[in-house]
Structure 1
């Protein structure tokens, strides 16, 4: 493996021919890889490579249409922004380590520039492409810009002993000072020659080109992809400075589906459509202007720090994406039987018989997004709460469907909710009935995403199996025929699973002694 040199090399590059390889940083603002090329190269070729599976991580998941569409919209928007600077996006398909070296050779590239990625698959891929570039005699520029802080700098600050708790991480960050200030977008770029455009796949493909069926209107995410939309949403959120400054994430509702009560900036941060550094400094300015502000872990700044913490964990700890061989993950004997697989299937397809859980899973499949508390509830239900299925299986479903699916954050949150790491109060479980009802006693959320239940009176909307048969008939929905019976008895399942967790924890403690 070649070690990627991330520091910008000194000296003049006026005659350089630079390939800028876009991966997550799908933006022109605060993009040091692109900005450096714009200032120093005579030829700049912006390139994105669509891997056949879109996200070929260790999970082996082909992503859903909503997630693919968000990416394609982000690429379309990036291409428009590049055209505004005088350039174009070249969109190739294949494995980057296969298609980029021939392209670099063909274009006589002398400099490769791309954003550093902390995650194992992409880090390894970046090293392979960088090694090919160096073998051709090209230099490599690989700056950190997806996270607030350079993970290598953080690791050096903590003497290579990565923090295992959020509190430890905040102490580490306090030693590092402010993140680098965001950079302006380039003012212009050299044009991509017409002969290159004519023989390269210049247009961003469609969903149909990639083998997807285009989602029906009901199954489309309401959040368009792209830097333009991300910056618009960011500015819109900051119209109310007091709300931004005093924002506390737990004080939001998982059942607000018309206008979500959170910022919904996560998919734009995940794809790099919006720079986390821009978000950070806008927050700092809002806090100063308001005079008072909420604090981590619940504030918006706290959410950015959670993101940084989990990215560092994914970078520092081996096998972070699975239970086995993961040094910070407790080994829990999850149900991997055929019955467990069937429970997983029913959970993933909104057939558990618990309306709150099924409505949330329906929203996930239709919109590619869920409020964080709804994610918590369905994750707890699948794992330690009710179904005793491994967090790795739930993580795969989220990887497929979420438009903000993010390897480090997804793994960390699933370990958290399954009490496999970070959070260990396994006796605190979300009720699949009472939790949703607390936020939405009328059941509007359920009626929206499970129309089969929309005529049930509010007394039974969260527990339709308790409704008298006459009520079920009047509602036009017979439980067990038109809507499933509960997959488990929650009270019995949660009691049994707490005992299993206690035994697993005791075994883990003994093994560590």
Structure 2
């Protein structure tokens, strides 16, 4: 029997290489692609205006892509615990699909949603697509604990074989037998809200430099992959945080939100490398993706990795508490021009070069201010 399926977007805000979405399409006669605007994030105060704008742009881009396929994106405001029982009942859902997320809040949220699905006799399908590999399989291959050095990570991965190849995006043909019911008032009920709708102030917001969405992500990736020599010679430490035009790909936010598949980028780089002399990990472009994989795996296998307390791999440091210093760092008013310029760029553009990130993080913590990295993480 064909399902009535909900595909739940969280990260992976894209159509290409989205195996859980494809699983829903292949097994269903009706599908509702949804994104839940969770008040946990709206009210947290740790999500800055640039990040919100990037997310909403990504959702609008995703909805446009669905429209071209004869479907729509349903954006629903509320907590997952409130939203799912209602839509399970109202839409007579029999299957829920989504991508595995190993981050702390997701690890608390997802088991609760799976329990709700079981209570409503809804089948749950989860797939891995936000990382190159399944983090749990890496941990298992390393004897049940995450690799805690880059070199050990490389050794483990060398025995696991290459990542799975990316899947193609769905086409109109995929939606001929699997339809999305659309109500006449869809835009007012399920449309992507504006920043103002969410109660977010746009006063003083800077122009968009890096627009969100899968379309921009793929275009940006292809522009860089077309530069064969640049790709082959890329070494991260030799790029500049001071250049007026970004000296790196600036694909990190697109990978973070899943607008771009990390596997698509990995195999795109691989195609450029083929038959050519090229740089190697850890400094190469492939090396950067492996750094990403390393930290996702370490976080997935380490309790409380996102904080100092209860984190077995974190030094337990008696940090100072100095609100005046923290505010000066946050708003670029430390009196150190390089640090202040970086923090101003971060606030206005929402992105900074990785060497700039190192500089401001060091200045905040062990370098100068002796303030906890957790305080820096909360700055929006």
- Verify same fold: TM over 0.5: yes
Aligned equivalent of 1:329, options 314, 336, 359: 314
Separation in structure 2 between the aligned mates of residue 366 and residue 226 of structure 1, nearest angstrom: 19
| 1:51 paired residue among 34, 38, 41 | 38
Unaligned runs of 5+ in 1: 1-13, 401-513
Distance 1:253 1:27 in 2: 30
Q: CA deviation at 1:55?
A: 6.7
Check if 1:136 corresponds to 2:123: no
Partner of 1:363: 345
Contact 1:245 1:287 in 2 (8 A): yes
**Structure 1 position 266 matched with structure 2 position 248:** no
Q: Is structure 2 residue 332 aligned with structure 1 residue 353? A: no
1:120-148 CA-to-partner distances (Å, cap 9, x unmatched) read 21122122111111111111100000000
Aligned to 2:297: 312
Do structure 1's residue 222 and structure 2's residue 204 form an aligned pair? Answer: no
Alpha-carbon offset, residue 194 of structure 1: 3.3
The structure-2 alpha-carbon separation of the partners of 1:55 and 1:255, relative to structure 1 and needing over 3 Å to count, comes to farther
SS in 1 for 2:212: coil
1:165 aligns with 2:149: yes
What is the CA-CA distance between 1:281 and the residue it aligns to? 0.5
1:344 deviates by 0.6
| 1:89-100 mapped onto 2 (5 Å cutoff) | 89-100=73-84
RMSD between aligned alpha carbons? 1.6
Matched, 1:293 2:278: yes
The alignment of Structure 1 onto Structure 2 pairs a total of residues equal to: 376
Q: Match of 1:445?
A: none
Which residue matches 1:405?
none
Decide which moves more: 180-189 or 86-95. 180-189
- Counterpart Cα distance in 2 of 1:283 and 1:224: 23
- TM-superposed CA distance for 1:41, in Å, is 0.5
Instruction: Give the match for residue 382 of structure 1.
Output: 364
Q: Is the 8 A contact 1:116 1:123 kept in 2?
A: no
Show the counterpart of 1:342: 324
Contact 2:19 2:127 in 1 (8 A): yes
Unaligned runs of 5+ residues in structure 2 are none
Is 1:126–2:110 an aligned residue pair?
Answer: yes
Between the aligned partners of 1:194 and 1:118, the Cα distance in structure 2 is: 32
Q: Does 1:277 align with 2:259?
A: no
1:247-262 alignment runs, 5 A limit: 247-257=234-244, 259-262=245-248
How far did 1:390 drift? 1.0
| TM score, norm. by length of structure 2 | 0.95
Distance 1:149 1:137 in 2: 30
**Alpha-carbon distance change, 253 to 198 in structure 1, aligned in 2, over 3 angstroms:** closer
Q: What's the counterpart of residue 148 of structure 1?
A: 132
Partner of 2:182: 194
Pair 165,197 (structure 1): closer, same or farther in 2 beyond 3 Å = farther
- 1:39-90 Cα shifts (integer Å, max 9, x gaps): 220000000001124377xxx4431111100000000000011111110000
Whole-angstrom distance in 2 between the partners of 1:127 and 1:105: 20
Deviations 1:398-423 (A, max 9, x none): xx2xxxxxxxxxxxxxxxxxxxxxxx
1:79 pairs, out of 24, 41, 63, with: 63
After superposing on structure 2, the runs of 4+ consecutive aligned residues of structure 1 that deviate more than 4 Å are: 196-200
Q: Give the conservation status (yes or no) of the 8 Å contact 1:238–1:244.
A: yes
- Contact 2:72 2:182 survives alignment (8 Å): no
Do residues 36 (structure 1) and 23 (structure 2) align? yes
Highest CA radius of gyration, 1 or 2?
1
Residues 42/197 of structure 1: CA separation in 2 closer, same or farther (3 Å cut): farther
**What CA deviation, in whole Å up to 9, does each residue of 1:441-496 have, x standing for no partner?**
xxxxxxxxxxxxxxxxxxxxxxxxxxxxxxxxxxxxxxxxxxxxxxxxxxxxxxxx
Cα distance between partner residues in 1 of 2:259 and 2:317:
37
- Partner secondary structure for residue 54 of structure 1: helix
TM-score by length of 1: 0.71
